């Protein structure tokens, strides 16, 4: 198993850099093979964590393919209670999770067939000790799935009447997904295609979980679901 995560600074005005550095440090301490993608500012803060279990990849966020579409987004106007967080740049970063997984699979520093995305600051939704959190992360080493293992909050078979281009949908929580590398690459392909289609047709972009749900509706064979929420069930039930 290879765990994949990323953190980019200065993408919105709502996140404390030091808070997420602290949260991510527990992820970095875990003894699981992992590849972490970060920008230069974050790299300087966490480079001492690089070891035989941890590869840190310096990444320029402006190289994300979505940035070239920024001037297309004339209809970007999502309904959010937190506009300081839910910026266009934030949407670009989270919609790029599947591309980061793709890059990790291409690098495959640890020669594994299983990969899992875990949000860098995911510890903030856990209610357990620091030691228990690390143990939970390390328990992922023993998990193996043939398809894309995806947590669900809402039942994906229940279609709610919601403007998916403006309102967040919580079919999937977004912080964790993983599985077989071949299915993850196909998931990345379909997510990229869907993002570009949304931008070109709707002239907007939204949360990655909304895009993933549109992918699911077209390609349900990609997925293997489990019940979860924004808490430690994301890892416990993976």
The domain locations on the chain are 2-236
Other C-beta atoms lying within 10 Å of the C-beta of residue 200: 10
Helix (H, G, I), strand (E, B) or coil at 229: coil
Q: Identify the CATH number of the domain defined by range 2-236.
A: 3.90.550
With beta carbons less than 8 A apart as the criterion, state whether 140 and 116 touch.
Answer: yes
Residue 34 confidence (pLDDT)? 98
Q: How far is CA 173 from CA 12, 44, 56, 89, 211, in A?
A: 20, 30, 25, 19, 12
Q: Which residue has the tokens 């229940």?
A: 158
Beta-carbon-side half-sphere exposure of residue 213 (alpha carbons within 13 Å): 25
Residues of the chain whose pLDDT is less than 70?
13-15
Cα of 180 vs its chain's centroid, Å: 16
Residue 201 confidence (pLDDT)? 97
Give the DSSP letter of residue 51: B
Residue 10 confidence (pLDDT)? 81
With beta carbons less than 8 A apart as the criterion, state whether 36 and 178 touch.
Answer: no
- pTM higher than 0.85: yes
Distance from C-alpha of 25 to C-alpha of 31, rounded to nearest angstrom:
12
Question: Which two three-digit tokens encode residue 135?
Answer: 């143990």
With beta carbons less than 8 A apart as the criterion, state whether 134 and 29 touch.
Answer: yes
Residue 20 confidence (pLDDT)? 86
Please name the helix (run of DSSP H) or strand (run of DSSP E) that holds residue 200, with its range, or none.
helix 181-202
């Amino acid at each position: 198993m290879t765990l994949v995560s990323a953190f980019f600074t200065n993408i919105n005005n709502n996140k404390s850099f030091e808070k997420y550095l602290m949260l991510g440090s527990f992820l970095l301490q875990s003894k699981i093979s992992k590849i972490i993608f970060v920008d230069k500012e974050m790299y300087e803060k966490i480079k001492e964590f690089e070891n035989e279990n941890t590869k840190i990849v310096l990444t320029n966020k402006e190289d994300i393919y979505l940035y070239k579409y920024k001037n297309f987004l004339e209809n970007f106007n999502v309904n959010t209670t937190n506009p300081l967080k839910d910026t266009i740049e934030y949407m670009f970063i989270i919609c790029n999770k599947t591309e980061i997984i793709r890059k990790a699979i291409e690098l495959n520093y640890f020669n594994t067939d299983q990969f899992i995305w875990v949000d860098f600051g995911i510890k903030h939704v856990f209610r357990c000790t620091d030691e228990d959190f690390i143990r939970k992360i390390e328990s992922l080493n023993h998990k193996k799935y043939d398809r894309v293992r995806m947590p669900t909050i809402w039942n994906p078979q229940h279609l709610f009447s919601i403007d998916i281009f403006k309102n967040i949908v919580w079919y999937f929580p977004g912080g964790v997904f993983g599985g077989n590398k071949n299915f993850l690459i196909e998931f990345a392909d379909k997510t990229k295609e869907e993002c570009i289609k949304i931008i070109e047709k709707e002239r907007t972009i939204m949360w990655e979980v909304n895009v993933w749900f549109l992918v699911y509706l077209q390609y349900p064979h990609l997925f293997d679901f489990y019940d979860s929420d924004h808490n430690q069930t994301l890892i416990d039930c993976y």
